[in-house]
Structure formats: structure tokens, C-alpha cells
Amino acid sequence: MTLQKETEVYDTFLLTQPYPQQLVSPFRLKDNTEVIIRPIQPDDEALLVRFHDHLSERSVYFRYFHMIGLSQRTDHERLRDICRIDYKYEMVLVATLTDHRTGLPAILGVGRLNRLPGEQEAEFAVVVGDCWQGQGLGIQLVRRLIAYARSEKLARVVGEIHPDNRLMQQICLKLGFKRHYSIEDRLLFVSLAL
Ligand SMILES: CC(C)(COP(=O)(O)OP(=O)(O)OC[C@H]1O[C@@H](n2cnc3c(N)ncnc32)[C@H](O)[C@@H]1OP(=O)(O)O)[C@@H](O)C(=O)NCCC(=O)NCCS
């Protein structure tokens, strides 16, 4: 089968996956702004490009543990894979808001949960746009990913955190994650039994 044919077959398969509508619901930020948290959709790619365009170097570093340039983060194939997920095996939640002045939607934060092959556990990662940090969105995205993992009957949610990332550590502490520092990797490994 040619690569193009394979892609077409895969796309058709993904389009037959039902959109998890039950995971769409509003959330009120601390400043009273109402956002919608929902699973990502195939046509969210342009919104993700804009989201990445506004991320600070500090946020990028804390999310990926090294600097990744904008062009690499917004690479079409990378974003296409993030937007076209098989909801059966992974989940990407986005928090969105429609800008009243322009009428355009925007993504304010992204939370990902990837199942580890052959394991009953999944790894989470989250990033909130700099302008929207400290409004309760980060912890809410992690809460929803945990709830989703529970509904999927997973045994554990795990994550990796930079040791200087006090805010993320605070969130994990609040949510009951256990943590372990790896001297070798210079990272904190967190784990929550469900
Ligand atoms: C880490 C990150 C996801 C947190 O999201 P956020 O929306 O900024 O954080 P929240 O507003 O949800 O804060 C969660 C908790 O942290 C604490 N907190 C928030 N702002 C704080 C501050 N300025 N100082 C100290 N504690 C703070 C609070 O206890 C808060 O809980 P509460 O809302 O119940 O009071 C976000 O800052 C981010 O995207 N950072 C860059 C990428 C990153 O670090 N990703 C993590 C990789 S796993």
C-alpha cells in the first residue's frame, strides 16, 4: 500500500471514531471568564499554531525540558497527529474561548494523556498559555485527565516534571501524586494510583 493510501485509510478510520461529546463542558476561570474544555478536533491545527506562537520560552522549557523552536512545535505533521487522535487510546483536552472582539476562537491551554503501550497507565502533560496561567486552568485540565483515565479503568497516571517547576509540583501535591526524583534524569517522576 502506498503511503498516501495508508494515510487515507487511517483518516477514514479516525473519522469513524465517535467524538467524545460527553467530555465537552464549560469551566469558569478565577477572573470569571467562561471557557469550554473539550477533546481536540482535527480542524484545531490553526488554533494550536496560534497558541504556540504566544508561548514564552519559560513555558516551552517547563513543558518539554529543553528549548524547541516555534517551527518545530508547529510542524504540520506533528500538529496533525495531535489533532487527529484515536480517542480510544489517547486524549488531548483543549480549553477554548471565543474572542468577543474578533469572533475568533482561541486555545488557552492543552492537556495530553498518552497510554503507555501494553500498560494500564498513561502519561500526562499540560501547558497553559502565559496570559492565562494562575487562573485555575492547569489544575482543572489535570483533574479532567485524571477523571478520564479513571473512566477508562486505567490503574495509574504518571508524569515528568522539571525540578524547578514549583507550580506544577504544587498541583501534583494537591492532587495526591507521589513523587520521586531521578538524579540520573534530573527530573521528578510523579505517579497517581487511581
Ligand atoms: C504549570 C501550569 C500547567 C499550571 O497551570 P496554571 O493554570 O498556571 O495553574 P493553576 O492556576 O491551575 O494553579 C494551580 C495551583 O497552583 C497554585 N498556584 C497558582 N498560582 C500560583 C502562584 N503564582 N504561586 C504559588 N502557587 C500558585 C495554587 O495552589 C493553585 O491551586 P488553586 O487554584 O486550587 O488555588 C502552567 O503554569 C504552565 O503551563 N506552565 C508551563 C508549562 C508547564 O510547566 N507544564 C507542566 C509540564 S507537566
What does each C-alpha distance from 3 to 8, 66, 142 come to in angstroms? 9, 32, 36
Stretch 116-144: mean pLDDT: 95
Strands 187-193 and 156-161: antiparallel
The verdict on the CB of residue 172 being under 6 Å from ligand 1 is no
CB 162 within 8 A of CB 62: yes
DSSP 105: E
Output phi, psi for 190, to 5 deg: -115, 150
pLDDT tens digit string along 12-50?
555 567 899 999 999 999 999 999 999 999 999 999 999
The verdict on the CB of residue 35 being under 6 Å from ligand 1 is no
The verdict on the CB of residue 95 being under 6 Å from ligand 1 is no
Residue 54, classed as helix, strand or coil, is coil
The verdict on the CB of residue 141 being under 6 Å from ligand 1 is no
Ligand 1 atom at minimal distance to the Cα of residue 160: 48
Ligand 1 atom at minimal distance to the Cα of residue 55: 41
pLDDT at 55: 95
Using alpha carbons only, give the angle 94, 114, 193 rounded to the nearest 5 degrees: 105
* Atom 33 of ligand 1, residue of closest alpha carbon: 136
CB 29 within 8 A of CB 35: yes
- Which of 64, 93, 139 maximizes ligand 1 atoms within 8 Å of its Cβ, making it the mutation to test the pocket? 139
**Mean pLDDT for the chain?**
90
Q: Which domains does the chain have, with CATH numbers?
A: 21-193 (3.40.630.30)
CA atoms within 13 Å, Cβ hemisphere of 160: 10
The highest-confidence range among 2-6, 22-26, 112-116, by mean pLDDT, is 22-26
Task: Take residue 149 and report the three cell numbers written for it.
Answer: 483515565
The verdict on the CB of residue 108 being under 6 Å from ligand 1 is no
- pLDDT at residue 96 is higher than 70: yes
